[in-house]
Amino acid sequence: MAEDALDAQIGYNLRRASTFALNDFAVELADAALRPVTYGMLALIDERPGISAAELGRLLGMKSANMVPLLAELEERGLVERDDHAQDKRVRVLTLTRAASEAMPGWRRQVRRHEDRFLHRLTEKERATLLRLLRLIWTEEG
């Protein structure tokens, strides 16, 4: 049956699109040595300075065990700082370093270029529809 063909399966097409996007992302941000996961972490910390590691993991859908080495990597690279929470010393909050804050606008431009390049066949309306549909798949609100 045609609907059983591999190229008719949504999961297969999602994986192919994801591979295409990840490869292009790697090329675009090679100079910054950022991967989608580390860029996502930095972008959220930029948008929410003082966010806790637990909240960052929740927003990214990541387990603590996966977050710890990535945060350590970003700290070692001088991109993220961890400080004590003002009211609760048990909580560590995350902020971008000055270097990362200064680099973030350029990284965001690179990500926009990357998305424009790999989504160039889609109209703005189609992009909005794709984003809405993808969010329906992975969000609980969907």
Q: For the domain that residue 107 is a member of, what is the CATH number? A: 1.10.10.10
In this prediction, residue 1 carries a pLDDT of 55
pLDDT tens by residue, 95-114: 999 999 999 999 999 999 99
Length of the chain: 142
In this prediction, residue 142 carries a pLDDT of 46
pLDDT tens by residue, 49-107: 999 999 999 999 999 899 999 999 999 999 999 987 777 777 789 999 999 999 999 99
Long-range contacts of 90-97 (CB under 8 A, 24+ apart): 91/52, 91/54, 92/52, 92/53, 93/50, 93/51, 93/52, 94/45, 94/49, 94/50, 94/51, 94/52, 94/53, 94/56, 95/45, 95/49, 95/50, 96/42, 96/45, 96/46, 96/49
Phi, psi of 84 (to 5 degrees): -70, 145
Q: Which domain holds residue 134?
A: 2-138
Which whole number is the average pLDDT over 21-25? 95
In this prediction, residue 40 carries a pLDDT of 97
Overall number of domains in the chain: 1
**Average pLDDT across the chain, whole number:** 92
pLDDT of 39 > 80? The answer is: yes
Give me the sign of the Cα torsion angle 64, 75, 89, 59.
Answer: negative
Which whole number is the average pLDDT over 115-130? 96
Angle at 79 between CA 75 and CA 83, to 5 degrees: 60
